[in-house]
Amino acid sequence: MDQIDYMTVVQPVQEITLVARGRASPWRELLVAQGFQADSIGHTVEIIMSATKAVYLGSRFREFSVSIRTGERQFFLCHAYNSLRLFALAERRFFRTPYFFANIEVANHRIALRQQGKHIFKAILPTHAQKIGKRQETHEWKIHLPKAFRNAHNSPHYFFARLEGDTTYFTGDCAELEFPHPSPDPIMERLQQSNLQVINWMVRPKARHSKSRTVDAIPE
């Protein structure tokens, strides 16, 4: 990637990320509606579920996001949650990102979300999960955003994200995922229908997260 101007930097960030594969069928209609080519979507998709805990401008907050890999170093941010209503509103208004309020619990081996007092998602890594590696990592990605938040219908928008930090990898096949049935949240319903297989459970205790401004592409 070319040199990127990151306008927001948050550190240290406690981050727990699950990398999973799932059936593409629950996501196909959504992805095509967002402008992704149907013939580029296989039978399965790679899904990233990431939970974070940090402090920004003196405010403690937690986040949870669901993204789908759409290419090399590219993801589509399907939906995201923030534990502070003001931060969720600021994300939607100023960055045009799909953030909404939820109560979020973040620990190295546990993630839980509630909305309006109702459980919508829980992920637990058992204590017997095998640690398979640890390394220092730096990643940069282009993050595509939903059409509903565009300034113009035919003008896609996106931002760049950079992640840095020591990363501990655990096997994810023993991770336990819990969803209510039926789910009150459409994105969680899709996750549930995906028959997810968690590949890796990653823990970054003191990550550095950087984010660019939101960019409007040339109209389609």
Domain that holds residue 44: 6-216
Phi/psi for 97 (5° steps) reads -110, 155
Enter the tokens of residue 128.
């017997």
189, 182 contact by CB (below 8 A): yes
Q: Mean per-residue pLDDT for 70-78?
A: 96
User: Which CATH number belongs to the domain containing residue 160 in this structure?
Assistant: 2.40.400.10
Express each pLDDT in 11-20 by its tens digit.
999 999 999 9
Q: What is the pTM of this model?
A: 0.95
139 burial via Cβ count (<10 Å: 0-12, 13-18, 19+): exposed
**Alpha carbons 148 and 153: distance in angstroms, whole number:** 8
Q: Mean per-residue pLDDT for 52-56?
A: 98
pLDDT attached to residue 164: 98
- Domain membership of residue 45 (yes or no) is yes
- Domain membership of residue 1 (yes or no) is no
- Domain membership of residue 157 (yes or no) is yes
Type and span of the H or E element at 89: helix 85-90
Number of domains into which the chain is organized: 1
pLDDT attached to residue 166: 98
Q: Mean per-residue pLDDT for 159-184?
A: 94
